[in-house]
Amino acid sequence: MDEQFKALVVDSDGEVTEHAVKTVAIDQLHEGDTLVEVHCSSLNYKDMLALQHCGGVIREYPMIPGIDAVGKIIESTHSKAKVGEWVFLASTPAGNTHTGGIAEYLRVPYEWFLSVPENLSPKETMILGTAGLTAAYCVWALEEHGMHVQDQPEILVTGASGGVGSIALSILKKIGYTQVTAMIRKNSQETLVRQLGAKEVVSPEEFAGDRPLNHRKYHYVIDCVGGEVASHAMRYIYEYGSMAMCGNAGGIAFNTTVLPMILRGVNLLGIHTGDLSNDFRQMLWKRLATDWRVVGHVYYDEVTLDKIDEPVTQLKEGQHLGRTLVKIR
């Protein structure tokens, strides 16, 4: 392998934060027992935040971002690692506190990796990535709290045209849920979300208002937005329904009252994939590769390492559709 390689690098002097594709050396990677030749990465909302000044993601500069990556092991001192094995990571410390996957090489502890599932190609694994893992976790959590396909409940998915939301729509359709409503910001996103399984389409403006409780519309909600959207959506949930919360594109403030919880028994389910055990991750990925296999329906585009600024801007402005792969090799 080459001792120098290309990577996206974010740097900051405390006043200005910048990113660029640079040539870096292997010894600039953080410590780990396994070195991987990266073939593909992907862009997530968290990666966009990592490129922003005071984005709240990176604590130490310079840093290589990228919470997703797939590639082949080329060196490892771990007893279970196999040179040539296809592995991937999604939602680990890589790209935040540890050099990440938007680079030609990645070095992390072997325990952070999972093997590419038998029924998914390396590229398909990245089409799903952290967004797919998060969407699967949302659906799993809601089903654990009473959502059953035989009941055909009314389900709302906010931010439905984005990475997590679009995959969640696809999983719900695959399982057999038919009463699904997609919340989108722009009319141009309607065709996509209807193709992915949405029966109805609404806008955030339709949920505006200050009433602590509104008439019941949804039994379950997958919220990928946060902020006022989440605050308003919760007020429409039926008795003993649940809302799985996984996003903050609409802001981190959550202004509400206790009334949905104490008068309707609504459950708020926090979805955090960063600290999941590998056994639980493997269970979710097995579903994504088998009975929840929707990767063939996921909308995505593909860019090279030096062309990520446009999709990053789209993510920042809420105009991004589906998933964006970053082709490394």
Is the per-residue pLDDT at 116 higher than 80? yes
Average pLDDT over residues 91-98: 95
**Cα–Cα distance measured from residue 90 to residue 129, given in angstroms and rounded to the nearest whole number:** 6
- Is the entire prediction scored with pTM above 0.85? yes
Please, what's the b/e burial string for 172-209 (b: 16 or more CB within 10 A of its CB; e: otherwise)?
A: bbebebeebbbbbbeeebbebbeebbbeebbebeebee
pLDDT tens-digit profile of 215-237? 999 999 999 999 999 999 999 99
What is the token pair recorded at 2?
């080459």
* Cα distance between the two ends of the chain: 14
pLDDT tens-digit profile of 170-182? 999 999 999 999 9
**Cα–Cα distance measured from residue 226 to residue 233, given in angstroms and rounded to the nearest whole number:** 10
Q: Do domains 4-116+299-327 and 131-270 have the same CATH topology?
A: no
Is the per-residue pLDDT at 49 higher than 90? yes
Please, what's the b/e burial string for 122-140 (b: 16 or more CB within 10 A of its CB; e: otherwise)?
A: ebbbbbbbbbbbbbbbbbb
Check residue 327 and give its pLDDT. Answer: 97
Report the CATH number of the 131-270 domain. Answer: 3.40.50.720
Average pLDDT over residues 14-23: 96
Report the CATH number of the 4-116+299-327 domain. Answer: 3.90.180.10
Check residue 297 and give its pLDDT. Answer: 95
pLDDT tens-digit profile of 122-164? 999 999 999 999 999 999 999 999 999 999 999 999 999 999 9
Domain edges within the chain: 4-116+299-327, 131-270
**Contact (CB, 8 A) for 243 and 230:** yes
Average pLDDT over residues 196-205: 96
Average pLDDT over residues 88-105: 96
Check residue 207 and give its pLDDT. Answer: 86
